[in-house]
A = this chain, B = another copy of it.
Amino acid sequence: MRILYLLDLVGVAVFAISGTLAAGRAGLDLLGVLVIAAVTAIGGGTLRDLLLDRHPIFWVRDPRYLYVIGTTALLTVACARWGSLPYHDVLLVADALGLALFALTGAELAEEAEHPAVIVVLTGTMTGVAGGVVRDVLTAQVPLILRGDIYASAAIVGIALYLMLHRLGVPRAFAFAAGFLTVAGLRLASVTWGLQLPTFELRG
């Protein structure tokens, strides 16, 4: 079983958690929650497969993704109902992990198709970001991508590091891990300590 496949499953699961929590905030019913969780979880990978013309799309080819999403969403609902889930923190952590996983798997697939570095970076970033954007649009939130801290930037930096290490001869698994930790770490550090890259601000 390819490791990328496992990581895709994990990415799908963490984005399903974040979609479930966002749908819960919007007060949807249980089946509606499942749909938002699914669309959030498969948004990034679906965009990746459409852009790179990989058919059938990952979840059409393999329904296991959808079972993972359904199970994860139901467990999340149960935890939120009967446990004391710190809603906001879990959403941010799940979103950061999903961003990191999809950014790196998106980049790796683009790299395998032998695209140049700039396309690998953009494809990976869009793959990582799309699920969260879909979730935010469908639940009528300001996209998380805009809330003033490091988001897409974390994906770019992490993917660039992965590409650099891999081209310098570092084995793929290590480069992948370094990239993943960079994306998730930057994102969480930004949320926790208010870290920011220099911003570009315009008064209109």
A residues contacting B by CB (< 8 A) are 20-21, 23-35, 38-39, 46, 50-53, 55-57, 59-60, 63, 66-67, 70, 77, 80-81, 87-88, 115-116, 118-119, 122-123, 125-126, 129, 133, 137-140, 142-143, 145-146, 148, 150-153, 156-157, 196-204
Contacts and interface: CB of A to CB of B under 8 A. Distances in A.
Closest 4 CB pairs of A and B: A31-B153, A29-B197, A24-B202, A35-B152
Contacts of A137: 133, 137, 143
A201 B59 contact: no
A27 B148 CA distance: 7
B27 A201 contact: yes
A31 B103 CA distance: 15
Contacts of A150: 29, 32
A139 to B, nearest CB: 7
Given A29-B199, A35-B152, A56-B53, A88 B145 contact: no
Nearest to A77: B200
A57 B54 CA distance: 12
A149 to B, nearest CB: 8
A57 B119 CA distance: 11
Given A55-B53, A119-B66, A29 B145 contact: no
A189 B148 CA distance: 35
Contacts of A26: 146
A84 B28 CA distance: 34
A198 B152 contact: no
Contacts of A201: 24, 27
Contacts of A56: 52-53
A87 to B, nearest CB: 5
A92 to B, nearest CB: 11
